[in-house]
Structure 1
Amino acid sequence: MKRVSSGTVALLGAAALFASCDNMKRIKLLPYPETERGGVVDDYFGTKVADPYRWLEDDLSEATAAWVEAENAVTDDYLSQIPFRDAIRERLTELWNYPREGAPSKHGDWWYYYYNDGLQNQSVLYRTRELGGAGEVFLDPNRLSEDGTVAVAAASFSKDGRYFAYAAAASGSDWVEIRVMDTADGTLTEDRIEWVKNSGAQWSPDSEGFYYSAYDAPEKGVYSSQNQYQKIYYHRIGTPQSADRLIYEDREHPLRYFGAWPSEDGEWLFIYASDGTSGSEILYRKTSETKFRTLLPGFDADYGPVTVEDGWLYYTTNRDASNYALRRIDLNDPSKTQTVIPESPEHLLEGVGTAGGYLFAQYLEDAQSKVAQYDLDGKKVRDVELPAIGTVGGFGGEKEDTELYYVLTNYTSPATIYRYDLATGESTLYKAPEVRFDPSLFVTEQIFYTSKDGTRVPMFVTRRKDMKLDGENPCLLYGYGGFQINMTPGFNPSALMFVEQGGIYCVANLRGGSEYGEAWHKAGMLADKQNVFDDFIAAAEYLIARKYTSKERLAINGGSNGGLLVGACEVQRPDLFAVCLPQVGVMDMLRYHKFTIGWGWAVEYGTSEDEEQFGYIYRYSPLHNIREGVEYPATLVMTADHDDRVVPAHSFKFAATMQHCQAGDKPVLIRIESKAGHGAGKPTSKRIDEATDMYAFLFQNIGVPYRPVAERK
């Protein structure tokens, strides 16, 4: 049966005005594809739930392919009529086009660093004998494919610097292939490791091989079938994958993640195990042994191995420490444990790195980075004086290091590299990018607002300094709220373009992240997930009440779990927003766990297979709370055909249902990117294309036309 046709849908008129200003062009919206509604009904503990678009889950069917083509045709036609779309693309290209460099690190006799001349689809790995000297290309990922859609998802050097292993991801897929280069001449070896996911190469200290985590080759549905029985293997350089030694598997727990971590001294091998995205367990054995034992039992707390020193494992944990602490355990007598850096009642211990025989503790204070240097016994050496407020990364290195290089970024400044002297604690500028805008025109402020239940929530607000709070400003509110992921300041060229236009870019630090420790995370998960949506809605209400914007000028955006956030808030408060922009969102909360690695999110969300959990998931699942006869905001759903983390069926079904139910004349469109995935490694060209369409749609549907920068001055 043909499931997609070009027939006219009576739900919408052929043309509508989607702007509040007289000078906005009227956009003619083509009829939506006629999407067949099937008769599938599931029974969840006595609750009958219809799933009329179940057939769209089959990403290999001709019917789904035809539907995708028809939907993209409607979206492309709509976007092509927006008169300022090309001007947005031109400015985004200018803002993206600046040389940027990563922090250098030394391996063997070479210093390695990533560099992008501005518009290269993928950053290139260079190396030089002396810092500051001319670099030579070592690996150019842009040459791994003709269109820049193959990216390096993970990379690591052997301890002696002789070998370099990289995990190549094609078209945005989470599946990677590990290849190995000989650093002596930059040639590829014969080593090739396939069917790897959520893993790179963890080199053994002797540099003769590496550990990796892989699945059996899928029999069908490479991008949608559930992944089970992840195993750990050891690969010796120069041998085929078929000869790799199985290190660990667990036949009793098919849906568990596993990763290997060898100690630098070569004495110990650890296995990191997790049932999902939080909660872990650490197993261990001496490298001379074959049987693993439980060292740190799970799965009701998180453990992060840091280093092994004199037979002690240093690890971070939130067990009995909501804001995390650094502890150590005697590997020869695990009954002996010590606290090295105690939990801070005010600051989240986000991570600990090592370099030059020191510990570097990275903290968050109201979602902004702080760093402290300690000796191995936990005695503070100093607080690191950072050059600016923002987010830092890179406080780690080798034992023999006397210096390290770190990066600092914020909403109005791209990543800037600093050199840090371990002995003196002095930071000096190493490399600062040259950008094509005037940072002095903008300001970022942190405000705090009150959520529905009285919780105090922080939010970053970036705007022009000359902006007036008159309620007429365009505003884009971004959020995530889940999986212990923290929303800290970072540079985004497309967001800066929006602010340059007089828009306000806001990032809310919702519960579900861990900006304020594990208590903050738990307050936004499982039965308390509604708190996340309440926090986001309260942020929108605050911005309107304080006249930053109005509901006619307010757009919301988020990706992945943030796409779920946008979808849930849209269906709960359709009156509050002008534009909704969910990206690669988890929209079908009743079936998410049946695809690829979705089962790993059950510790965060719960699943529909549990009666109690079904009850609260069903109440907020975006797909299942769309109602006929409701006027929803203008909506642009964004997804990609190779997304094998949040499969595109989530977005397909959400868009089809929204189009079926929309009572108003606001457009509901879906943009389906080809040869792209969940987002990681996406080529620069595709990022610019996506941002162009998103912001063109946004400006069109808040009634504010884009104006060239010269006209804004």
Structure 2
Amino acid sequence: MKKSLFGLVALAAAGALPAVAQSLPATPKRPVTDTYFGKKVVDNYRWLEDTNNPEVQAWFKAQGDYTNQTLDQIPGRDRLIKTFEDYDKLLAVRYGEIKQRGNRYFYRKTLPNEKVGKLYVREGKTGAEKPLFDPMSLATDKQKSYAMTAFTPSPNGQLVVIGLQEGGAELSTLRTMTVATKAFRPESIPAVFGGTVDWLPDNSGFLYTPNNSTDPKDPKGNLNTKARLHRLGTPPKADPDLFSRAKNPDMGIRPDQYPLMAFSNDRTQVYGELSSVDRRINAWVTTPADLSKPKIAWKKLAAPTDSVYSYSKIGSKLFLHSVKGAPNGRILMTDAAAPSPATATVLLPESTQNITRLSATKDYLFVTLSDGINEHIRQYSPATKQWADVPLTTKGTTGIEFYDPSSSNEALVYVMSWNDPGTLYDYNPATQKLVTSAFHVPMNYPGVADLVVEELEVPSHDGTMVPLSLIYRKGLKKDGSAVCLMDGYGAYGNSATPYFSRRNLALLNQGVVWAETHPRGGSEKGDKWYRAGYQTTKPNTWKDFIACGDYLVKNSYTSPQHLIGMGTSAGGVLIGRAITERPDLFAAAISNVSCSNALRFENSPNGPVNAPEFGTVKDSVQCMGLYEMDAFNHVVPGTKYPAVLCVGGMNDPRVIVWQPGKFAAALQGASTSGKPVLMQVNYDNGHFTEDKKVAFRNFANMYAFALWQAGHPAFQPATTAVK
């Protein structure tokens, strides 16, 4: 049976690989039946959810080994890794997260020959740089990946908290370094997601929220968490709980909500916010002096019913980005000391442009607006009550970051697009002058001048026009022969704005058409677009994706024999349901760290936190919505499915590895197309990783598999060896 399965793979592939030494692992069915509000659902692979079971661990190991042996034989895979490396070397240095404290500038810097970034500091923006910290210096095992998830300098620039990660895990250990000596203080605080903190104004300590466990697979790891205060020189175990379900039983905090605390830019207020996937904030405000009191006198800032997405304080005013009664968003202004969204003044009314971001420096407010694809930035001065446009002329995705919003107005501004890596500018809002930044590094990549961009809208299943971005090389023959990789996400209101990618360029320069879809569930067309691909309306997300694929085939950009579909993370719902609803449309699919078993997602560590986005099995209507978006439960035996590569990370705290694992098992047992279904298991990776060596291999594996199965000539074996 195992031999014949691989024989079918060899016969069906555009070009067959030699048989691998190891066989595809068998996956026994052990049915478990659940009844959800009268609906019986049989789960044949529930046993794979017990990742602590040695049998399950052996299954993942065998699947991963078989997949690695198969992927290692694909011609073009190693050349693709080499191309990633070559393009990376064309960027002489990469700077990131530039933060100013006084005259000191802290930043992450990565050289082409380095796997991860190091921390540096300069005295003055153009001063001589000094290395502060190399994450790999802590490595006892040089084969493992070590990186900084985040770093946060103290207000006086004399200390810096660094979040350290191992093996791609996003749960970091916090260490505090003295800048002058580069020595770490003795405290070590584990299990902080992302490694983010906010310093006290007097530099004596910081606010942070740890998980309950260092194990990303612990089901109670991020439930009932507590926002704490660490004062330097005190034991972390004694850090007081300032904001939590236990500390504030009258606030109605749910176990899955993540309590965070942070200061306003001017350090005159402290905000307590319940972080979740619900974009509507649930937040309170207090004064810094209250942090030392036994009971903090919190004032309500905004409730979810106020539909406020973000807020920024300047002087005595609090500015709110609200979508209540305004799906494209509007900016409100209220008293910072006694905020009231209900009675706030409308500062910027809703328009045809969708507000995507709100941020502020010391004296200026910045609002980013989008036409659905391209963005621009407006600034507002509370002192003069004047609006103005930030003078960027290039179209694409805009970004604005701040050196030190607590004491400065200077900003870093950039624009990038599908075919332009962009320029980094220093921006002075008072003069409205843009100057190429000292941190800008010129980028010149091969083939960029030959790229064509098409921005289209295509009709979906219900007639809704869905944006579709196409990028390809000049001279494309629209005869259906081109390989096309179609990507999609459509969740959490995240929009697929234009971005420049060296990885994408490596495919584009081999004649691949890159199609970026903008399905409902994102915010390309405002809050209504998001809510139209959310919970029970989620089918629009994958149906929009399918409609884009049909358009590409109908108009001969590609054909079903050459179309690749890809979805990552929450995009696993999109790609999983697209191939289970329309398996005939795709030659291959990449299901990357994917939410593939939505009905069981609440049984994973990160599941309860995501219930506001996808729904809960505790509600009869939402439960049926979860079933509908569950790719695993829509795998039908005897169906000719496309070739599929499922990818999971053993250190992934967001989408536990059994989500893509069960989907792979179901497809392997059901598909009659003879095309391969593989499960790539990453033991040196979580949801993603900064480690370039690991990331390059990971993406080269995904792309090489899909390009092999979609018939790209550079990824076909020289000879056919059918076993």
TM-score tier by shorter-chain length is: over 0.9
Give the counterpart letter for 1:83 in structure 2: P
Shift of 1:555: 0.2
Describe the SS at the equivalent of 1:16: helix
Structure 1 counterpart SS, 2:2: coil
- Which residue pairs with 1:60 in the alignment? 52
TM-score by length of structure 2 reads 0.91
Q: In structure 2, the residue corresponding to 1:428 is in which secondary structure? A: strand
Counterparts of 1:533-682 in structure 2, within 5 Å, are 533-679=542-688, 681-682=689-690
Mapped partners of 1:159, 1:532: distance in 2: 44
Residues 32 and 659 in structure 1, CA contact (< 8 A), matched pair in contact too: no
Larger CA deviation: 491-500 vs 659-668: 491-500
Q: 1:116 to 1:340 in 2, by over 3 A?
A: farther
Q: Does 1:510 align with 2:519?
A: yes
Who is 1:246 aligned against? 241
| Paired position in structure 1 for 2:272 | 271
CA RMSD in angstroms, aligned pairs only: 2.4
Over 3 Å counting, the alpha-carbon distance change for 1:671 and 1:318 in structure 2 is: same
**1:684 pairs with one of 682, 687, 692:** 692
- Of 171, 174, 177, which aligns to 1:175? 171
Shift of 1:394: 2.8
Cα distance, 1:642 vs structure 2: 0.8
Q: How does 1:57-96 map to 2 (within 5 A)?
A: 57-96=49-88
Instruction: Tell me if 1:307 matches 2:312.
Output: yes
Is 1:386 the counterpart of 2:402? The answer is no
Superposed CA deviations along residues 644-674 of structure 1, whole A, max 9, x for unmatched, are 2100000111101100001111111111111
Q: Is 1:209 paired with 2:205? A: yes
Worse overlay, 574-583 or 188-197? 188-197
The equivalent of 2:321 in structure 1 is 316
Task: Decide whether the 8 Å contact of 2:484 with 2:562 is kept in 1.
Answer: yes
Of the candidates 704, 707, 714, which is equivalent to residue 706 of structure 1? Answer: 714
Pairing partner for 1:422 from 414, 424, 429: 429
C-alpha change, 1:666 and 1:224, in structure 2 (3 Å) is farther
Q: What is the number of residues matched between the two proteins?
A: 697
Unaligned runs of 5+ in 2: 717-723
* 1:587, distance to aligned residue in structure 2 (A): 0.8
Q: What is the aligned partner in structure 1 of residue 476 from structure 2?
A: 467
**Residue 123 of structure 1, CA deviation:** 1.8
Given residue 441 of structure 1, which amino acid in structure 2 is its aligned partner? D
- Tell me what 1:327 maps to: 332
Match of 1:344 among 350, 354, 362: 350
Residue of structure 2 in register with 1:4 after alignment: none
Residue equivalent to 2:719: none
Deviation at 1:156? 1.6
Range with bigger deviation, 347-356 or 65-74: 347-356
User: Which of 42, 45, 58 is residue 37 of structure 2 equivalent to?
Assistant: 45
Change (3 A) 1:292 1:564: farther
Structure 2 residue identity aligned to 1:249 = S
Q: Which residue of 1 aligns with 2:453?
A: 444
Match of 1:214, SS state, is coil
Q: Relative to structure 2, which stretch is displaced further, 334-343 or 352-361? A: 334-343
**1:372 has 2:378 as partner:** yes
* Cα separation, 2, equivalents of 1:112 and 1:184: 13
Query: 1:270, 1:283 within 8 Å by CA — same for their partners in 2?
Result: yes
Name the amino acid aligned to 1:65. Q
1:604-628 Cα shifts (integer Å, max 9, x gaps): 1112222222222212310000000
Post-superposition offset of 1:494: 1.8
Pick from 411, 419, 442: which aligns with 1:412? Answer: 419
CA offsets, 1:145-172, max 9 Å, x none?
3346222222222222222112222222
1:226 and 1:49, CA in 2 relative to 1: closer, same or farther beyond 3 A?
A: farther
Structure 1 unaligned blocks of 5 or more: 1-6, 709-713
How far apart are residue 334 of structure 1 and its match? 4.1
Counterpart of 2:7, as a letter, is G
SS at match of 1:658: helix
Q: In 1, Cα distance between the equivalents of 2:335 and 2:48?
A: 53
Select between 354-363 and 585-594 the one with higher mean Cα deviation: 354-363
Q: Distance between the aligned counterparts of 2:386 and 2:298, measured in 1? A: 33
% same residue: 28
Secondary structure class of the residue paired with 2:282: strand
Q: Closer, same or farther in 2 for the Cα pair 1:398/1:255, shift >3 Å?
A: closer
Asked if residue 256 in structure 1 is aligned to residue 257 in structure 2, the reply is yes
Q: Tell me, yes or no, if the aligned pair for 1:88 and 1:706 is still in contact at 8 Å.
A: no
Q: Does 1:107 align with 2:113?
A: no
Residue type at the aligned position of 2:657: P
> For 2:306 and 2:88, how far apart are their aligned partners in 1?
40
2:289 paired with 1:295: no
Q: What code does the residue aligned with 2:455 have?
A: Q
Q: Secondary structure at the match of 1:66?
A: helix
The equivalent residue for 1:122 is 116
Q: Which residue of 1 aligns with 2:183?
A: 187
Which segment is superposed worse, 670-679 or 461-470?
Answer: 461-470
Question: Match for 1:248: what amino acid?
Answer: F
How many Å separate the matches in 1 of 2:543 and 2:218? 33
Instruction: Return closer, same or farther for 1:694/1:333 CA change in 2, 3 Å cut-off.
Output: closer
Distance 1:443 1:113, change over 3 A: farther
- Post-superposition shift, 1:600? 1.6
What aligned pairs does 1:355-366 form with structure 2 within 5 A after superposition?
A: 355-366=361-372
Spell out, residue by residue over 1:35-57, the C-alpha distance to the aligned partner (whole angstroms, 9 max, x if none).
12113221212222122211211
